[in-house]
Structure 1
Amino acid sequence: MPTGLLIPGDYDDVGGFAERAESLGYDCLWTPELWGRDAFVALTMAAHRTERIDLGTAIVNVYGRSPATLAQAAATLADVADGRVRLGLGTSTAKVVEDLHGMAFDNPPRRLHETIELTKAFLGGDGRVNYEGKLFSVADFRSLDREIPVYAAALGASNRRATGRVADGWLPHNVPFDQLPEAFETIAETARQAGRDPDDITVAPYVPCAVGDDTDEAYAAIRNHLAYYVGSSDGYENAVAQSFPDLAPRIADDWREGNRDAAREAVSDEMIAQLAICGSPDDARAQFEELAGRDVVDEVIVSIPIGASDTLRDGTVAELAPNR
């Protein structure tokens, strides 16, 4: 089973982290992007320090850059990294789009669909690109002749349908593990309607993981991480509510009202088992193998919880490494 690793957003030495990930056998190093660090620049640093590991964005949002800008950034990174690039795109949240980028959070599924479709057109082949959509119109620009798979981070059904129509991969986040097959079926059905083979769409959930002998620390880190995400947007809350219809709204309300401790305490062990990998090294590896063995999963991406200590972060990366 291929295994990915997400660079923690607060980790300064991106190149050193990339070198370690490659030495430990991880197949792809992914970097998030919200604010403070540019994903493409960070992965360029990683490219200069590695030789084999793939480099992916998980994710850059489809409002902050145009499809042309996304395509040329990915193509330039592919030149530096000898083609070892995966482009992960998503809609992000209203908070990020409106309050950071100063843009209207209008029709996210359509924005995701057209951005992926047009970005792939710019990247693929060696012809000219002409495109007429509802949001974007492009006339007579040459394509960049790069083979770069484009993944979508999609939670809601409309975004998942867009994924099925145009994306090469799906990056589910905070979708309860038992809900993954049903959620992917929406993607698969739409792919079939579009004349595509669902088996060609890679499913790579990125999963918060906390592994260490101090299991209290590990569980506390996961509870904080999950409470933050459930409280940060309606999309994450709704995804978790598919399996936890009573708990998810309670956690979200407490977090948004500033009752952070109450939100963390409300994250149950059952919720952790459906959304994360957590515990002692032996227990966590067993959980990882069980998730990786599910038919719907093609690659698990290890994500370190927000605010994890250096010891917990480094131990998690080592204990779940393919070359352990």
Structure 2
Amino acid sequence: MPTSLGLLLPDVAAESPASVAERAEELGYDAVWVSELWGTDAFVQLAELAMRTERIDLGTAIVNVFSRSPAVIAMAAASVDRLAPGRLTLGVGASTPKAVEDLHGTSYDQPVRRIHETVELVKAYLSDADAVDYEGELFEVADFPGLDADVPVYNAALGPANRRATGRVCDGWIPHNIPFEGLSEAFDVVADAAREAGRDPENIAVAPYVPAAVSEDETDAYDAVRGHLAYYVGSGEGYRRAVATAFPEEADRVAEAWRSGDRAAASDAVTDEMVRALGVAGTPDAARGRLETILDLDVLDRPMVTVPRQADDDLTLRTIEALAPASR
């Protein structure tokens, strides 16, 4: 069983992110991870968390590789590492065409190649090299020294090509919406690519999102996770394909309803079986039992509790408390 359990920092209207992170540290969580889509810069937020916490690890889950250059990503990571030495994990990902094109105004071209080259270049910039020289298909740089920061780089990969890139160049894998019982088989693609590249797959950490909601009213908990899964299956083709590995017809129904604009129908199309396979939901005892089952899976190293945005403040805080290492 993994000895660590992280928390993807949720939005809580009644509390500041730093206060939630401080509470997570008190409750025994191993790490707090921050997401980034729109509205809050991940690295600025991590800088505050670095100053407000003492021991807990910090991570991005994730920043996309299209909106910042590899050099900017490396500088940001090195800056946080100086504030919290040895505590940062840099989680990156290709994101989705919607986020990259409609928000950042950048073409969503060659996402897997961009992941591969960005990670290689970021790791080179974070090294202690006297001068970083790199020539790839997408990036060519020369003559700037490394920043000498020890920051592991994880990739949020779904499809097999992106998982192969993870095995070739990354220190960890952040899966999402892959049924937990299928993670070991999915990781085999990462492991095979790592061995082909002369790397030991045992050194690649697996840090999945664990969508979770805990309530005395089981229906409220299940509905929160339903909404989370419907959003991802409906808004990202990669997520739909990941869920479809176990639930092909159900994933299609969810995606069709979401894309037609009927968000309620999309959420309703997420079955109880899907919730149990892809997340944790229920009363405190039931949810803790399901979480322990997931944590017993050999393939996991650094899972992170992920409270759906559909949860209100009370449900969010109840979930954080109920699933905390100190409460189990």
TM-score grouping bracket, smaller chain normalisation: over 0.9
Runs of 4+ displaced beyond 3 Å? 9-12
Distance (Å, rounded) in 1 between the aligned partners of 2:258 and 2:197: 40
The percentage of counterpart residues that share the same residue type is 56
Distance (Å, rounded) in 2 between the aligned partners of 1:82 and 1:60: 20
Q: Which amino acid aligns with 2:4?
A: P
What TM-score does the superposition give when structure 1 sets the normalisation length?
0.98
Partner of 1:98: 101
Question: What is the Cα-based RMSD across aligned positions, in Å?
Answer: 1.0
Distance (Å, rounded) in 2 between the aligned partners of 1:173 and 1:225: 11
Q: Deviations over 1:117-153 (max 9, x none)?
A: 1000100224211000000001111000111000000
Q: Deviations over 1:220-262 (max 9, x none)?
A: 1111111111001101101000000101011001011011221
Distance (Å, rounded) in 1 between the aligned partners of 2:26 and 2:319: 15
Partner of 2:257: 254
- Whether 1:216 and 2:219 are equivalent positions in the alignment is yes
Partner of 2:62: 59
1:66-81 alignment to 2 at 5 Å?
A: 66-81=69-84
Give 3-state SS (helix, strand or coil) of 1:92's partner: coil
Q: Which amino acid aligns with 1:269?
A: D
- Whether 1:166 and 2:169 are equivalent positions in the alignment is yes
Distance (Å, rounded) in 2 between the aligned partners of 1:187 and 1:156: 11
Q: Which amino acid aligns with 2:277?
A: Q
- Whether 1:321 and 2:324 are equivalent positions in the alignment is yes
Q: 2:203 aligns with which of 185, 200, 203?
A: 200
Q: How many residues align?
A: 324
What TM-score does the superposition give when structure 2 sets the normalisation length?
0.97
- Whether 1:141 and 2:144 are equivalent positions in the alignment is yes
Distance (Å, rounded) in 2 between the aligned partners of 1:15 and 1:265: 34
Q: CA deviation at 1:263?
A: 1.0
Partner of 1:8: 10
Structure 1 pair 278/4, CA: closer, same or farther in 2 (3 Å)?
same
Partner of 2:284: 281
Q: CA deviation at 1:9?
A: 4.3
Q: Which amino acid aligns with 1:151?
A: Y
Q: CA deviation at 1:82?
A: 2.5
- Whether 1:113 and 2:102 are equivalent positions in the alignment is no
Q: Which amino acid aligns with 1:185?
A: D
Partner of 1:44: 47
Distance (Å, rounded) in 2 between the aligned partners of 1:309 and 1:72: 35
Q: CA deviation at 1:320?
A: 0.8
Q: CA deviation at 1:183?
A: 0.8
Give 3-state SS (helix, strand or coil) of 1:160's partner: helix
Give 3-state SS (helix, strand or coil) of 1:302's partner: strand
Structure 1 pair 298/157, CA: closer, same or farther in 2 (3 Å)?
same
Partner of 1:298: 301
- Whether 1:312 and 2:315 are equivalent positions in the alignment is yes
Q: CA deviation at 1:298?
A: 0.9
State whether residues 224 and 308 of structure 2, in contact with CA within 8 Å, keep that contact through their aligned partners in structure 1.
yes
State whether residues 14 and 45 of structure 1, in contact with CA within 8 Å, keep that contact through their aligned partners in structure 2.
no
Q: 2:272 aligns with which of 237, 256, 269?
A: 269
Unaligned 5+ runs, structure 1: none
Distance (Å, rounded) in 2 between the aligned partners of 1:85 and 1:213: 35
Unaligned 5+ runs, structure 2: none
Q: 2:231 aligns with which of 219, 228, 231?
A: 228
Distance (Å, rounded) in 2 between the aligned partners of 1:59 and 1:318: 24
Q: Which amino acid aligns with 1:2?
A: S
State whether residues 292 and 299 of structure 1, in contact with CA within 8 Å, keep that contact through their aligned partners in structure 2.
no
Q: CA deviation at 1:10?
A: 5.8
Q: CA deviation at 1:161?
A: 0.5
